Structure 1
Amino acid sequence: KMISLSVGAQLIGTYKPAEQRKAYEQYRSYFADKDSLTREDLSLAAMVARRLEQQEDVTLAKQAYREFGRIFENAGGPVARFAETFEASARRLDLLGNEMRVSGKTMAGKPFKLSDLKGKVVLVDFWATWCGPCIAEYPNMLKNYERFHDQGFEIVGVSLDEDRDAVENFVERKEVPWTILHDKEHPGESEAASEYGISAIPAMFLVNREGKVVSLHARGEELTAQLEKLFGKSETPDDQ
């Protein structure tokens, strides 16, 4: 039965909205009615919620994260401690249209708060040097930074590396022109990553001048499109 449930979880994102809700409610009942919940159940619930999160409307995904979290918390046992991860993921989806809290220490050891950049458009990028897709995003980030920085675009990279040398070497080799947060005393840790349930990277959020999150997936073409919406279609460096 777990195999068919797992296949269904992978396919839930392809269903029409009404079918998605019906399927979600079946999963919710399945977890709620079980005498004891296992790590396999935990993985299955996370898969369902993640597939729903990939939809344009994330309302059902938020509901899934919150209700699954409550079910696992009430179940007790080893799985109960993961309930907060589900709630944190719901908080991440709640960010759209709201302010995001990010703080930490820069590479130079200076305290930083995202609210200090109010009035700027900011890309908040959770990344690591060991993350291939994160590094693959770098050229596009740099291209957009060079194009829009003079108009008020900033990037804050929150490194989740445990290896300080790896971060320093990358920043130096690439001559990264934007702020990188990495705490020497607590490498690999980030309060914001914990608060917003960020377990997969890159996780890239775009914040407007008012400090409100306008995109939860500001990667690739989506980043450029969002910036053009906020700044207008100025000439790119290649056009000049």
Structure 2
Amino acid sequence: MLFLVLFLLGSLNAVIGWQCRSGKVIPGIYIKSGQPAIIGFQTTLQTFDGVLVYTVAAFNNSNLYAATFYNNHLQIERSFLESKFIGDASSGNFTLKTNGVHTQDGGVYSLQYKKGGADLYTEMCSILFVLGKPQKATLSHDNNNVLGKDCQLSCASSSTTNPTNHTLNVTFNWKVNDITNPSNNRYKYGVLNKTLTIMSVTKEDANKRFKCSATESGDGVTGLTSDYSDEFIFTVIC
């Protein structure tokens, strides 16, 4: 099982359908579609003389797990939506394992508790980010393919990771005549390889084949790679 953790740098309010109104944000989880995810919360249990219920809830208000305590003793545990509880509720470890996740499963998950007839309290939150394959890359150029001029090619793609308020970057790779990111001193790469500039176009550049792809990544996270763009055949204007 593979799951990757990255600290969240953003507001939970950006996630449609849920706000973490109180408590704290813990590290978010990045997972590839189709893989199981580990969603875990560690807390100090509340003390209460009566019924105390802890739940792990999804952004659509559905529960994945519930534990009922009475007079500070665990009484009943239940898992929902085919999730499997692998924590230890008696010690405040509320950790569960989901089945393979899909894009629509991305969102905020929270640990909540309810004392007797009091209102439900959200203690902490985490976001499950489901990594998606970036959209097929597209290649464009500045139409400055004139002999002796510098011509810039650009690559573009869009993230499909859900939710969209992640902190991943998109980096690009180029192929020139099927050679990946060639180190020709006449090629200058821009930030994150988004652009490739051909310095001082020559006649030998004619009919070279260019294409590009996009990969999502961040601190400790390697995402998916897009399909390559359509191949672009370079022409030289003399």
The interval holding the TM-score normalised by the smaller chain is under 0.3
What is the TM-score of this pair, normalised by structure 1? 0.24
What is the TM-score of this pair, normalised by structure 2? 0.24
More strand by share: 2
More helix by share: 1
